[in-house]
Amino acid sequence: DIQMTQSPSTLSASVGDRVTITCRASQTISNWLAWYQQKPGKAPKLLIYKASSLESGVPSRFSGSGSGTEFTLTISSLQPDDFATYHCQHYNSYPWTFGQGTKVEIK
C-alpha cells in the first residue's frame, strides 16, 4: 500500500501569512492527489484534485503543486476561515490512503 506522510503535523500562523503544507508518497502516484479541508465536527471538503486543480467554489488563495512523490498545498494569504485541519489523499490505485493531517492553528 502507498503511504502518505504530511508535514508539519501542526502549524501556527497568523492571518495574512503564506502557508505551505507538504505531502510525500511512499511511491510515485503521478498527479493523483487530492487535498481536503476539515473543520471540527464537520465532514472534509475537497479543495484540490489532480494535485493542482482547484475544486469549483474554492477560493483562489488555495493552490496545489507537485507530481510523483512530493506535493504541496499553499494558502497564499491565510484567512480566519482557513484555520482547520488539512488532509492529503492519493488516488493512484486502490487502496486509497490519507496523510495523517496538518492542523493549522492561530498563532
Partner 1 sequence: QVQLVESGGGVVQPGRSLRLSCAASEFTFSRYAMHWVRQAPGKGLEWLAVISYDGSNKYDADSVKGRFTISRDNSKNTLYLQMNSLRSEDTAVYYCARDGAYSSSWYGPYYGLDVWGQGTTVTVSS
User: Which parts of this chain interact with partner 1 (CB under 8 A)?
Assistant: 1, 32, 34, 36, 38, 42-46, 49-50, 55, 87, 89, 91, 94-101
Q: Which cell numbers in the block locate residue 4?
A: 502518505
As measured in angstroms, the least distance from the Cβ of 32 to partner 1 is: 7
Q: How far apart are CA 102 and CA 6, in angstroms?
A: 7
Q: Compare residues 30 and 79 and give the one whose CB is closer to partner 1.
A: 30
As measured in angstroms, the least distance from the Cβ of 3 to partner 1 is: 12
As measured in angstroms, the least distance from the Cβ of 14 to partner 1 is: 25
Q: Compare residues 44 and 66 and give the one whose CB is closer to partner 1.
A: 44
Strands (E), the chain: 4-7, 10-13, 19-25, 33-38, 45-49, 53-54, 62-67, 70-75, 85-90, 97-98, 102-106
Q: Compare residues 45 and 61 and give the one whose CB is closer to partner 1.
A: 45
Q: How far apart are CA 11 and CA 106, in angstroms?
A: 8
